[in-house]
């Protein structure tokens, strides 16, 4: 059976690292059909919208999507697409790799971020001149769903869950979130920790090795996962998955990096690791493991792009990964 | 002229570090009147409320308040008190001290946190079973006020301003905030940077030395300043000021630390540095400088409490600071 993958490179280095990830998928003993599509700043210039209806259809009908990066119009592209794939969980592993400079070399975290609500509701108003509001939404349904996902994920990984929140201030909304997470935890007989997101930010910086899976409301997950990127040396190595019940979108956490775009020196590791997450989500666990191991090998003693202090090109790194498959 | 100071030790180590800060103030050539008052878990047990009306009155009538820390009831005490003193700016310096172990020894940041609105509005509802909302409020008035404060503060310090926001997602509310900050910046002819709070979290971890004054919405300031505490070795050294037009409250950023409370080993540095901020706010700049220099001296080669790897007591450190005045 062939897997139908929508390929959406986007802007800037997205156009360099996404083809690299496709090359790696192509080199595997797994059958794929690839459907290219466009979104982002360049398309917005041409067509007047950063997210053409055709792209939405391609993503909707694919088994999964490989996404690159988008520039200025990022929010106009990625937020609707998370919705198109019905993604309620955003999974963001942040780990330090042997041989790669990291402020905290023991970091091995996975953020499981609620991907549908919180301050991402889109409900905003100017209710009087200079007086604006945003409605932060937290529901029992979404909170239970993300809790189930986080506990399942941690079980597979054999690791512990920490639940981030700010319920001392957001008493009703994060109160609801905590109540729902606790209900799921109780039903399943899970042990886990709860942590205020501010204190957690400090503890993650000081002692990341004490944490594993961190279950977060939407914005907390956005910020804490970027913080963790700092601990492992930057965004160049962080993949992510936007997971729904029967569709999913995979993307490097980094952006379109206009400063280095077009030079062929972008680090393809995050995009290739995102492809490994795609493989695992498709049930191709063995191939996923193969890709991950190949990337780790290259990171530890293969060619390096300039962000990691080397002078290799995107292609050099991609070939080195393919050679190790 | 004597300065009337409300002294509110609170719970746990607040009861140990606040008297230490008072001892230091007492040793200066500045006249003070101290009015003790109570708030927190212990008072809640006795009187049924963590914030007795008497305390509110004492704080309201004082020239300034020296606050310690409160346990479980922290939010019920500190949020109303910030309101009582009319505090619209929360100032949180986070710097690494020579001789103190820090993950990023070049860190020297000051967070200027909006202290009245954002997700701290307190407007929350359960609008259907399991469906809750919080109204995040952002106004032109509060945004301009915090921008003015941040630019003034940076000017005095001779440093640059970075404005944290998440306007790509919170388009109307953080859009308003940015618009207001930009208007102030334009009027004053200021140069400054803008940064998305997620990307900023990463950059602060990787390269804190590139930042100075960070102007933040309320929750962003809460989280990013705790992150910075991690970079300089923890909360034990971070003072803060809640500043209004004609009243202010000064507090260490750390909590009541029930695990070490009662042992006499809490690090009084954050509380004493908060007293230095109080002195400067009262216009006693010379005395403030004196205290700060004394604390720095002790941190670099004086006795140390266990959190900094020493075995000195709170009293030992306090005496060492007083000796250096
Ligand atoms: C581009 C932006 C809307 C997005 C988000 O906030 O989710 C990004 O920061 C991310 O984390 O994927
Ligand atoms: C105790 C809590 C309400 C408070 C806050 O969120 O402001 C604390 O975290 C702080 O930063 O002073």
DSSP string of B62-104? Answer: SSEEEEEE-STTHHHHHHHHHHHTT--EEEEEEE--TTS--SS
Neighbours of B304 (CB within 10 A): 20
Count residue pairs from A and B with Cβ separation < 8 A.
160
Neighbours of A314 (CB within 10 A): 21
Is there a catalytic annotation at residue A120? yes
The first and second tokens of residue B162, run together, are 């970075």
Read off the pLDDT band of B7 (50, 70, 90): very high
Burial class (CB in 10 A: 0-12, 13-18, 19+), B285: exposed
pLDDT digits 0-9 by tens, B61-116: 999 999 999 999 999 999 999 999 999 999 999 999 988 999 999 999 999 999 99
B191 — phi, psi (to 5°)? -105, 135
pLDDT (0 to 100) of residue B235:
86
Task: Please tell me the distance between residue A115's alpha carbon and the centre of ligand 1 in angstroms.
Answer: 10
For A70-99, give the DSSP string: -STTHHHHHHHHHHHTT--EEEEEEE--TT
Does the pLDDT at position B249 exceed 90? yes
Is A210 near chain B, with CB under 8 Å? no
Read off the pLDDT band of B1 (50, 70, 90): confident
Q: Are B38 and B8 in contact (CB under 8 A)?
A: yes
Give the closest of B137, B169, B199 to A120, CB-based. B169
Nearest CA in chain B to A219: B198
Is B227 near chain A, with CB under 8 Å? yes
pLDDT (0 to 100) of residue B65:
98
Q: Degrees (nearest 5) of the Cα angle A77, A82, A86?
A: 145
Instruction: Record the pTM.
Output: 0.97
Determine the length of chain B: 325
- Which residues, given as ranges, of chain A have pLDDT below 50? none
Give the closest ligand to the alpha carbon of residue B218. 2
pLDDT (0 to 100) of residue B305:
96
CA distance B2 to B20: 20
A247 — phi, psi (to 5°)? -155, 160
| H or E element in which residue B156 lies | helix B140-157
Give the closest of B136, B176, B233 to A130, CB-based. B176
The first and second tokens of residue B287, run together, are 């005395």
Does the pLDDT at position B32 exceed 90? yes
| Residue B222 Cβ contacting ligand 2 at under 6 Å | yes
pLDDT (0 to 100) of residue A99:
85
Active-site residue numbers of B?
120, 166, 198, 222, 226
Q: Are A239 and A274 in contact (CB under 8 A)?
A: yes
The first and second tokens of residue B177, run together, are 């905030």
pLDDT (0 to 100) of residue A137:
98
A215 — phi, psi (to 5°)? -90, 125
Task: Please tell me the distance between residue A289's alpha carbon and the centre of ligand 1 in angstroms.
Answer: 27
pLDDT (0 to 100) of residue A234:
82
pLDDT (0 to 100) of residue A85:
97
Q: Which of B276, B280, B273, B270 is nearest to B305 (CA)?
A: B270
Neighbours of B307 (CB within 10 A): 18
Q: Are B214 and B84 in contact (CB under 8 A)?
A: no
Average pLDDT, chain B: 97
Q: B233 vs B28, which has greater pLDDT? A: B28
pLDDT (0 to 100) of residue B99:
85
pLDDT (0 to 100) of residue B275:
98
pLDDT digits 0-9 by tens, B255-292: 999 999 999 999 999 999 999 999 999 999 999 999 99
Q: Atom 3 in ligand 2: which residue has the minimum CA distance?
A: B75
Partner A, chain B 176-205, Cβ-Cβ below 8 Å? 176, 180, 197-199, 201-205
pLDDT digits 0-9 by tens, A267-317: 999 999 999 999 999 999 999 999 999 999 999 999 999 999 999 999 999
Closest ligand 1 atom number to CA of residue A218: 7
Is B125 near chain A, with CB under 8 Å? yes
In the sheet with B32-36, reading across from the earlier edge strand, the strands are: B32-36, B3-10, B64-69, B248-252, B239-243, B89-95, B108-114, B213-216, B161-165, B193-196
Q: Degrees (nearest 5) of the Cα angle B275, B219, A193?
A: 95
Residue with tokens 């706010």: B281
Task: Please tell me the distance between residue A93's alpha carbon and the centre of ligand 1 in angstroms.
Answer: 15
pLDDT (0 to 100) of residue A236:
86
pLDDT digits 0-9 by tens, B148-167: 999 999 999 999 999 999 99
Q: What are the start-end ranges of the H helices in chain A? A: 14-26, 41-47, 53-61, 74-84, 140-157, 173-188, 197-206, 218-232, 269-281, 285-301, 314-323
For A120-134, give the DSSP string: GG--EEEEETTEEEE
Q: Are B163 and B197 in contact (CB under 8 A)?
A: no
């Amino acid at each position: 059976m062939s897997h139908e993958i929508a390929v959406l490179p986007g802007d800037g280095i997205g156009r360099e690292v996404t083809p690299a990830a496709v090359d790696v998928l192509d080199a595997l003993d797994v059958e794929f059909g690839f459907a290219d599509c466009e979104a982002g700043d360049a398309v917005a210039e041409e067509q007047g919208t950063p997210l053409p209806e055709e792209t939405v259809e391609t993503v909707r009908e694919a088994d999964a999507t490989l996404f690159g990066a988008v520039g200025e119009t990022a929010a106009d592209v990625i937020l609707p697409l998370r919705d198109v794939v019905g993604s309620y969980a955003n999974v963001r592993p942040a780990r330090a790799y042997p041989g790669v400079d990291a402020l905290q070399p023991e970091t091995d975290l996975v953020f499981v971020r609620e991907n549908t609500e919180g301050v991402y509701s889109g409900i905003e108003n100017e209710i009087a001149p200079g007086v604006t509001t945003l409605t932060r939404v937290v529901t029992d349904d979404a909170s239970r769903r993300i809790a189930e996902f986080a506990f399942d994920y941690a079980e597979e990984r054999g690791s512990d869950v920490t639940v981030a929140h700010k319920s001392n201030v957001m008493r009703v909304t994060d109160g609801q979130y905590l109540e729902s997470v606790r209900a799921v935890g109780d039903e399943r007989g899970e042990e886990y920790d709860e942590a205020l997101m501010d204190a957690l930010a400090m503890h993650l910086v000081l002692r990341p090795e004490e944490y594993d899976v961190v279950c977060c409301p939407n914005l907390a997950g956005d910020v804490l996962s970027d913080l963790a990127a700092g601990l492992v040396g930057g965004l160049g190595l962080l993949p992510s998955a936007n997971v729904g019940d029967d569709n999913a979108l995979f993307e490097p956490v980094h952006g379109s990096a206009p400063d280095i775009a077009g030079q062929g020196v972008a680090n393809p590791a995050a995009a290739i690791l995102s492809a490994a997450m795609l493989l695992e989500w498709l049930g191709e666990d063995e191939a996923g493991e193969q890709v991950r191991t190949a990337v780790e090998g290259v990171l530890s003693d293969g060619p390096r792009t300039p962000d990691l202090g080397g002078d290799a090109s995107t292609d050099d790194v991609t070939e080195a990964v393919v050679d190790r498959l």
